[in-house]
Amino acid sequence: MATPSAAFEALMNGVTSWDVPEDAVPCELLLIGEASFPVMVNDMGQVLIAASSYGRGRLVVMSHEDYLVEAQLTPFLLNAVGWLYSSPGAPIGVHPSLAPLAKILEGSGMDAKVEPEVKDSLGVYCIDAYNETMTEKLVKFMKRGGGLLIGGQAWDWANQGDDLSEDREELLHGISELDISNSDCFPSQLLVHGALAFPLGLDSYHGCVIAAARYGRGRVVVTGHKVLFTVGKLGPFLLNAVRWLDGGRRGKIVVQTELRTLSGLLAVGGIDTSIEPNLTSDASVYCFEPVSEVGVKELQEFVAEGGGLFVGAQAWWWAFKNPGVSPLARFPGNLLLNPFGISITSQSLNPGPFRTPKAGIRTYHFRSTLAEFQVIMGRKRGNVEKGWLAKLGPDGAAFLQIPAEEIPAYMSVHRLLRKLLSRYRLPVATRENPVINDCCRGAMLSLATGLAHSGSDLSLLVPEIEDMYSSPYLRPSESPITVEVNCTNPGTRYCWMSTGLYIPGKANYRSLTA
C-alpha cells in the first residue's frame, strides 16, 4: 500500500471543501491499528472519513451512509473509488441500498452497476455498514486485493449491540485480585495504549501485569510472563479469559505445545483444549508465547477476523540480550501486539497480589491520562488521580519508542506532545525550584526526554537563556571545572554515572584522566 501521506493526497486531489448533508447525523470513527488514517476531521477533532488497508486490498469508511449518495461529494467519491482500484478496468459493484451511488459513478464515466452480492470479478464494492450476511465475503474480497467503500453510523446500533464496558466485568467475574506471589517469576510491565485496550491487574504504582483488548472482530488477552499460565491461583481468571476470547462460539481452543500445563488448568474448569505446535485453521482461541517474527501478520489477521489470542511473554530478558535495542520496537512479541494497543516493556514487576479494576472507579490508562494532561495544561488548573502523572512520563517515553514513521495512530501522539511542549515550554529544574515526578512539570520533562530520544528536534522547546541561567547553579563557568567521579561498579551489569553537569550546545573541551 502507498504511504498514508501519498494515499491522502490521492483521496483529496481537487477536493477543497466538504459539503456534507446537514440532516445526516454521523458517528465518530475510531481508528484502530497501524494502517488506518483520517481523511476528514471536523472542527472538534472527530474523524468522519477514514481509510486503511487489509491484506492486499484497501477500504474507505464514511461515518454515515448518506455521504455515499450525496452528489455534492462526487469529487471525493470519484477519488475514493479510483484509489480503491487494484484491478484497472474491473467493474464497480454497488449494493442496492446505495443505488443512487451507481448513477453518480456512471455519470462520471465509471463502469458501475448494482450488485446484491460482492463478486471476485469486481474491482471495488460499495455497501452500507448494516449488512451482516456478507461480512466473511467482504473480508476475503479485500484480502485478495479488492477495494471496499462503506458507510454507516453506529449510534443507533450501539443501543442494541455489545456493551464494551462489560468486557472487563466478564473477564474479572468472581475475582478480587490476581495473586502471583508464589509464581517465582518477575513479569514484564505492560504498556496499555490502545483505545480499545484496558488493564486487568495493577500494582500500587499503576504498573500493569495483565491487559486485554478488542481488535477488529477479535479479542486479545496479554500477560507479562508465560509462567502466569501455570499459576494455580490464577485458574479462575484463566478460565474467564479463554471463555471471553472464545466469544460464545464454543470453538476449538489451541494451546502451544510448550504451554501444555495451561491445558491441564483449563481442563479442571471443563474447557477441552488441543495441544499444537502452531495456530491451526480451525482454532477459535490460540494460547502461546511469541518467540519470533514468523507468522505475525497471520496472527493479526486471525484476531481481526474474529479469533481470540491469549499471549504470555516477558521482554526484560530479551532486552538484556539485546542492549541498545528498544523492545518496544524490536521484541517479537511487540511486533505482534503493538497494533492491538498493548506492548510489553523491559521493566519488570515484583511478584505479588495485583489489584483488579473496580466497576465505577476510574483506572489509569496512558491515552486517557495524556488527554487529561492536555486539558490541565490548557486550563492551567485541574488535577488527575494521584500517581497518574508520575506514570504518564515513563509511559510516554516508552510509547515514543514504538516506530511511528507513516503510522498516523502513533504520529498523532508525537505531534500532540510537540504541540504541548512548544506551547508551554520546558520547566527549569533548580535547587530552589525542584521538579517532582507526580506533577505536570515532571511529566513535561519526562515526555520531552522521550521525544528527544525518538529523534524529535527539541531545540525550540528549550527555555529562554535568561530562564535557564536564572539560578547560580546553572550559570556557565568561565574557568575549567574539575569533576571527580567514582566509577566503581557495585554490580555485574553496565552502570551509568552522571556528572550532574549540563554542557551548552557550543564548542567545549574535555579531558579525561585515568
Tell me the per-residue pLDDT of 424-447, one tens digit each, with 9 for 90 and over.
Answer: 777 777 777 787 777 888 888 888
Residue 88 — pLDDT band, cuts 50, 70, 90?
confident
Residues making up the chain, counted from first to last? 514
**Would 486 be classed as within a structural domain?**
no
At 42, the pLDDT band (50, 70, 90 cuts) reads very high
Q: Please check whether residues 463 and 388 belong to one and the same domain.
A: yes
Q: Are residues 135 and 194 in the same domain?
A: no
**How many angstroms separate the CA atoms of 41 and 48, rounded?**
6
Distance CA 455, CA 459 (A): 12
Boundary-marking domain end, from 128, 159, 190: 159
- Reported as a pLDDT band with limits 50, 70 and 90, residue 347 is very high
**Segments of 18-166 assigned E as strands:** 37-41, 47-54, 57-62, 92-94, 112-114, 124-128, 147-151
Chain segment 91-143, per-residue pLDDT in tens: 999 999 999 999 999 999 999 999 999 999 999 999 999 998 999 999 999 99
Highest mean pLDDT among 164-168, 405-409, 491-495 belongs to 405-409
Residue 487: inside a domain: no
**188 plus 205 within the same structural domain:** yes
Percent share of the chain, pLDDT over 70: 90
Residue 484 lies in a domain: no
194 and 327 assigned to the same domain: yes
User: Is residue 497 domain-resident?
Assistant: no
- pLDDT exceeds 50 at position 335: yes
Q: What angle do CA 365, 165, 404 make, to 5 degrees?
A: 40
Residue 202, domain extent: 166-355
In this prediction, residue 162 has a pLDDT band, given cuts at 50, 70 and 90, of low
pLDDT above 90 (res 183): no
For residues 399-420, average pLDDT: 90
Alpha helical stretches, state H, 196-293:
235-246, 260-268
Q: Buried b vs exposed e over 292-319: b needs ≥16 C-beta within 10 Å? A: eeeebeebbbbbbbbbbbbbbbbbbebb
What pLDDT is attached to residue 507?
A: 67
Phi, psi of 41 (to 5 degrees): -130, 130
213-261 tens-digit pLDDT: 999 999 999 999 999 999 999 999 999 999 999 999 999 999 999 999 9
Q: Is the pLDDT of residue 360 over 90?
A: no
Rounded to whole angstroms, the Cα distance separating 33 from 339 reads: 5
Is the domain of 80 the same as that of 139?
yes
For residue 266, is it within any domain?
Answer: yes
| pTM (two decimals) | 0.87
Decide if 489 is inside a domain: no
**Looking at the structure, do residues 155 and 170 belong to the same domain, yes or no?**
no
Q: What is the pLDDT of residue 68?
A: 97
Q: Using the predicted structure, report yes or no on whether residue 452 has a pLDDT greater than 60.
A: yes
pLDDT mean across residues, the chain: 89
Flag whether 11 is in a domain: yes
Looking at residue 465, what is its pLDDT? Answer: 43
Is there a single domain that holds both residue 315 and residue 420? no
Task: Specify whether 289 is located in the same domain as 263.
Answer: yes
